[in-house]
Amino acid sequence: PVMSSLVAISFLAVLILAASEVKATPIWPDAPYGSVVAVARLTSLDKSLVVRGSVALVWPRPNMGNASVALNLIGALNQITMAHIRLNATNAPIRLDLLPRYPGVAAVPLNPPLNFRGTFGFTVPFDYLRVGAWDPDNDHMNFIQSLQKGLLYVSVQTVGMPGGALQGKLECKPPCMFSIGGGGVVYPGK
């Protein structure tokens, strides 16, 4: 009896470890054919926060529709000051503002900060000019190249966690470039 309990506990521990090592397959949003598509799962390093989120970026080929970033949060988070896409380090430059939308390219926090309980989401349109404005070389292709290299992440900042209460690395759907070809819509999993 004791030995079988130990075996059962050991087996359960192995299953838990194996499950934690499995990487979830991204759920890609619908997008026009040939679009650059990326997603991120937002989590917090602070385990006392009961909030998680997701981000979907869709950037259609030129003249094929509007580009947008959709951010959705579930749980509760107080005193949100801003959300943006930046290079892979906390103090690295912002590459696209999400919340608030700035008239220029200087990061200005929400005033007053935003609180939510339950669900909160928004969709932000953008274009190559907006992305280029945040680039030191004024080149939107640097954003796409950083996305291809896995160097961009989304950060949701709060008053108490200005380095990012929630963060998630953007994962780009292969081939992570504008594709040339016919029209239509690409559906996830098909």
Where are the strands (E) in the chain, listed by range? Answer: 31-32, 36-42, 51-59, 67-87, 94-99, 114-126, 152-158, 166-169, 171-172, 185-186
Question: Considering the domain boundaries, does residue 60 fall inside one?
Answer: yes
Question: Considering the domain boundaries, does residue 31 fall inside one?
Answer: yes
103 vs 34: CA distance, rounded Å: 30
Task: State how many domains the chain has.
Answer: 1
- pLDDT at position 160: 95
Question: Considering the domain boundaries, does residue 54 fall inside one?
Answer: yes
Question: Considering the domain boundaries, does residue 17 fall inside one?
Answer: no
Question: Considering the domain boundaries, does residue 6 fall inside one?
Answer: no
- pLDDT at position 90: 62
The predicted-structure confidence for 53-87, as pLDDT tens digits, reads as follows 999 999 999 888 889 999 999 999 999 999 999 99
Question: Considering the domain boundaries, does residue 72 fall inside one?
Answer: yes
Q: What is the share, in percent, of the chain residues with pLDDT greater than 90?
A: 63
* Regions of the chain where pLDDT drops below 70: 1-23, 89-90, 181-190
Question: Considering the domain boundaries, does residue 7 fall inside one?
Answer: no
- pLDDT at position 10: 39
Owning domain of residue 95: 27-179
What is the pTM assigned to this prediction? Answer: 0.81
Domain CATH code at residue 154: 2.60.40
Question: Considering the domain boundaries, does residue 15 fall inside one?
Answer: no
